[in-house]
Chain A
Amino acid sequence: MKPIIQIRDVHKYYGDYHALRGINVDIGEGEFFSLLGPSGCGKTTLLRTIAGFEDLSQGTIHIDGRLMEGVPPNKRPTNMVFQSYAIFPHLTVAENVGFGLRRDPRTPAQKAAAVEEALEMVGLKGYGGRAAHALSGGQRQRVALARALILKPRVLLLDEPLSALDKKLREQMQSELRRLQRQVGITFILVTHDQEEALIMSDRIAVMFEGQIAQLAPPQELYRRPVTRQVAEFIGVMNFLPASVATVNGARIDVEVAGLGTVELAAEQCPGGARSGKGSVGFRPETLTILFEGETPRGRVAEGTVEEVTYYGDMTYYGVVPDGVDVPLTISMRNLVGRRVLERGERTRVAWDPAALVLFC
């Protein structure tokens, strides 16, 4: 992977507030990269330092091999889609899209054709003459995309572009953004607080907390092997049980899990690093299986009581308290034909697989 952006040891202070605390990351050419984290984690600040709207307190950013220090936003090979879309209200759609073409050497007719082409790419063919203020939220976003992409930037920066849209439109735009990214082949950097959105769209995700990158990994790895409890809690749903690490023996780790007994884990099940002592294990709701009457278990089995039942139509989420533990575990089950939905208070057996556990020390 050839890096297009190299971020080295970047710090940003606002007065006493330490917004970015030593960011190091390479972002590859043509990659769909996401910065994911709760609000105030510094993800937008990092994006704005790449765009040039914030200067660095320390560290360097190279884009396309060029040091960006002192380079203003208008001289950087990046373009941005703003959270508010920042559509110029005094201009038409076509004037908005063509805003950055002022110094383009092409003839006005060629520029108009380029604008029309960009509008077609985002599905707004024929909207050029409309007044920008008469557009809906989704259309504004498309205009903002066309306006940025028409300049053929090396990197497109997206600052929570979907947060203002309703759920349906958001899902539609997620796949459309993905399609656009493949079509134009440039690097997209997406800032989002929505973990699902990041998982759906990204090639790689950097999870940020308090100005630092907690984990940088592709979606599957991030979901399956979160390095800390904090990351695991932020990405999807995860059950935690207290555990104590008995021995760490090269590739093998012996762990005593509350309520489930002793398990033997492989080294990669502890991505954050293993050491003996107290810790916790985590597992996703879909790695646990409720055993209905007559089903034979795969893996190991625990017994418990159903405390909560949440019916979603296609899925049912159960809260089951295993014997010997006082916290309910969330278990998701597909509602297959012929499978009944358990009721609160029922006793049940739960099958689980030690290979699905993640250990946090």
Chain B
Amino acid sequence: MGATGANRGQPAIMDAKTRWGRFRRSEAASGLLLISPTALYALLMLAVPLAAILLYSVLTDGYLTVEWTPTLANYAEAWGDPLYRQVMLRSLFVSATVTLVTVLLAYPVAYYVSFHVSPSRKSLWLFLITIPFWTSYLIRVFLWKVILGFNGVVNSSLMTLGIIDEPLTFILYNVNAVVITLAHAYAPFAILPIFVALEKIDRSLLEASQDLGESRLLTFWRVTLPLSMPGVVAAVLIVFIPTIGDYVTPQLVGGPEGRMISNAIQLQYLRLDNYPLGSALAVSAMAIVTAVSLVFLFLNRRFLRVRQQ
């Protein structure tokens, strides 16, 4: 947006003064003025670092320095090394699983609030759903550590009840722990867009379906679900995009086998001081997220077109 502002301004300066004057008084100018603090902030905090990473990713790594020799070797390593490929695939897998679990669990909650909670109570329910946000993300992840740990809540409860003899070890410091923690953290993000999509459904459509001979279940399948798909797609995007790059959760509860792409990037940057390779990994991860997101955005466009009444 900052770039657009610069482009708009330039021809006006080069051209006649009257045109510049007209531009200054126009609505476009006041609009640009209004967004300029945000645009500048975004430019400095997002565009510049992004450009720096892109630049680093095609430079050569020297010992503790970066050499100004352009190369694609970093990308070759990022995509070719089985270690990084495995980490990337694991990130995709974890993120996809988290998205699936979160959306599947969020849908019934959103459905319940939208269809079975009386209108006067709905805002209270939404408020309660956002309660996890009252605590910092870091603390929530730590709490999961307490719950899932060797002597944690789950294990000690199960042992006291006599269901297991020794603590379960597959619930902490691995992929499962990452999935459980992330699914919990992102649940409200998935519930809200689905809830909004369900709220927008005209209830007489559901009655019409029943009137035309369909049971409640088939009415859900043929009417409610298709009409709530924009919300589901939004939920998928909102959960998928941040979880694939999540750093804190795999770091704290993932253990060595739960490590994800952001942990690998952190390792390159801060431990091994290999900025170019770290940047190439980061750019690759972004490219993959972008590709997946575009697929879903395209899907959403299809569903959204339907809703324009």
Of A78, A86, A89, A100, the residue contacting B227 (CB under 8 A) is A89
C-alpha spacing A102/B210, complex, angstroms: 13
Contact partners of B211 in chain A: CB under 8 A: 51, 73-74, 78-80, 148
Q: Mark A77-98, 1 if CB is under 8 A from B, else 0.
A: 0111011101011100000000
User: Which of B209, B215, B218, B227 gathers the greatest number of chain A CB atoms within 10 Å?
Assistant: B209
C-alpha spacing A148/B209, complex, angstroms: 11
Contact partners of A151 in chain B: CB under 8 A: 212-213
Interface bin, chain A: 20 to 34
In the complex, are the beta carbons of A74 and B204 less than 8 A apart? no
Contact partners of B308 in chain A: CB under 8 A: 133
Contact partners of A74 in chain B: CB under 8 A: 210-215
Contact partners of B210 in chain A: CB under 8 A: 53, 72-74
Contact partners of B218 in chain A: CB under 8 A: 102
C-alpha spacing A99/B209, complex, angstroms: 8
In the complex, are the beta carbons of B306 and A147 less than 8 A apart? no
A86-B309 in contact given A74-B213, A74-B214, A74-B215 (Cβ < 8 Å): no
In the complex, are the beta carbons of B208 and A89 less than 8 A apart? no
In the assembled complex, A103 has its CB within 8 A of some CB on chain B:
yes
Q: Name the residue of chain B whose CB is nearest to the CB of A157.
A: B211
Contact partners of A51 in chain B: CB under 8 A: 211
In the complex, are the beta carbons of A73 and B205 less than 8 A apart? no
In the complex, are the beta carbons of A103 and B213 less than 8 A apart? yes
Q: Mark A143-172, 1 if CB is under 8 A from B, else 0.
A: 000011001000000000000000000000
Contact partners of A90 in chain B: CB under 8 A: 226-227, 303, 306-307
A133-B207 in contact given A74-B213, A79-B212, A151-B212 (Cβ < 8 Å): no
Shortest CB-to-CB span from B132 to chain A, Å, is 33
Q: Interface on chain B toward A: helix, strand, loop, or mixed SS?
A: helix
Contact partners of B307 in chain A: CB under 8 A: 89-90, 133
Contact partners of B223 in chain A: CB under 8 A: 88
A86-B213 in contact given A133-B306, A133-B308, A133-B309 (Cβ < 8 Å): no
In the complex, are the beta carbons of A82 and B207 less than 8 A apart? yes
C-alpha spacing A80/B207, complex, angstroms: 9
C-alpha spacing A84/B308, complex, angstroms: 16
Q: Mark A50-81, 1 if CB is under 8 A from B, else 0.
A: 01010000000000000000001110001110
In the assembled complex, B81 has its CB within 8 A of some CB on chain A:
no
Contact partners of B205 in chain A: CB under 8 A: 86, 88-89
C-alpha spacing A270/B274, complex, angstroms: 103
CB neighbors of A among B20-67 (8 A): none
Shortest CB-to-CB span from B6 to chain A, Å, is 40
CB neighbors of A among B209-260 (8 A): 209-215, 218, 222-223, 226-227
In the complex, are the beta carbons of B208 and A86 less than 8 A apart? yes
Shortest CB-to-CB span from B216 to chain A, Å, is 8
Of A84, A99, A103, the residue contacting B204 (CB under 8 A) is A84
CB neighbors of A among B100-149 (8 A): none
User: Which of A73, A79, A131 gathers the greatest number of chain B CB atoms within 10 Å?
Assistant: A73
Of B207, B212, B226, B306, the residue contacting A99 (CB under 8 A) is B212
In the assembled complex, B15 has its CB within 8 A of some CB on chain A:
no
Q: Name the residue of chain A whose CB is nearest to the CB of B215.
A: A74
C-alpha spacing A86/B203, complex, angstroms: 9
In the complex, are the beta carbons of A102 and B309 less than 8 A apart? no
In the complex, are the beta carbons of B202 and A84 less than 8 A apart? yes
Shortest CB-to-CB span from A139 to chain B, Å, is 13
* B residues whose Cβ falls under 8 Å from a Cβ of A: 202, 204-205, 207-215, 218, 222-223, 226-227, 303, 306-309
- What 5 A-B pairs are tightest by C-beta distance, nearest first? A100-B212, A86-B208, A86-B204, A90-B306, A133-B309
Task: List 22 A-B residue pairs with CB atoms under 8 Å apart, sorted by A's residue number.
Answer: A53-B210, A73-B207, A74-B210, A78-B211, A79-B211, A79-B212, A86-B208, A88-B208, A88-B209, A89-B306, A89-B307, A89-B309, A90-B307, A99-B212, A99-B214, A99-B222, A100-B213, A100-B214, A102-B213, A102-B214, A103-B213, A151-B213
* A residues whose Cβ falls under 8 Å from a Cβ of B: 51, 53, 72-74, 78-80, 82-84, 86, 88-90, 99-100, 102-103, 131, 133, 147-148, 151
